[in-house]
Amino acid sequence: MARVLLVDDDRQLLDVLALALGEAGHDVSSAEDGLQALDAIAKLQPQLVVADINMPRLDGLSLCRRLRESGDLTPIILLTSRDGEIDEALGLELGADDYVTKPFAMRVLLARIAALLRRDAVRAGTEASVTRALRVGALALDSERVEVRWKDTLVACTLTEFRLLEALAQRSGVVHTRQQLLEAARGDDSVVGQRIVDVYVRRLRRKLEAVDPEFAAIETVVGLGYRWNA
């Protein structure tokens, strides 16, 4: 069971989702727009947020951006009636962990929620990663705290970003394909474009370059994927 916050201005859909998630054993709360969601997140501290993109006052993308800018790493699944890799890339750029396009089968959403909660379990120490602590050159990863440090400076990363970085650093110098990194980062078999890995890598580079403008340890291998070059 997990505390899940549903955010959507469609009351009928909220009721359907709340019923399905409740039957799956989750403790469900709801909000009808992004501003209500911010208040609910502060009070309830949910373990996962499912938010529609198109909402009044504060939409899902803006909600996601505000949470990440404040350092809140609560896993977020975005729902949208829009399709296309550009929309998905935008949501992931802003820090979303997953993306589901309407209309969707309820079992698909429940599977995505379960997969994301499994990935996030490491934060509570209920699921061990391959290593608890990893240091490669200037990079330090703490799997129990899901902390990334570069040159002893803390870098705020989502769990998806952490898992991807961990996969690269564990095998320094080895080329990882986009599919391998996607499986490591997401930990499920959901069908998304492998190019989404480029979004994750671009986001990681931007965060690490903010700490160290000369950061260049994530190397692009044209036609293959990426490798960690310590």
Query: What integer pLDDT is reported at residue 131 of this predicted model?
Result: 46
Question: In which residue ranges of the chain is pLDDT below 70?
Answer: 82-89, 120-132, 186-194
Bridge partners of 6? 30, 50
Enter the pTM of the model. Answer: 0.61
pLDDT digits (tens, 9 = 90+) for 117-130: 877 665 555 444 44
Query: What integer pLDDT is reported at residue 186 of this predicted model?
Result: 67
Query: What integer pLDDT is reported at residue 208 of this predicted model?
Result: 95
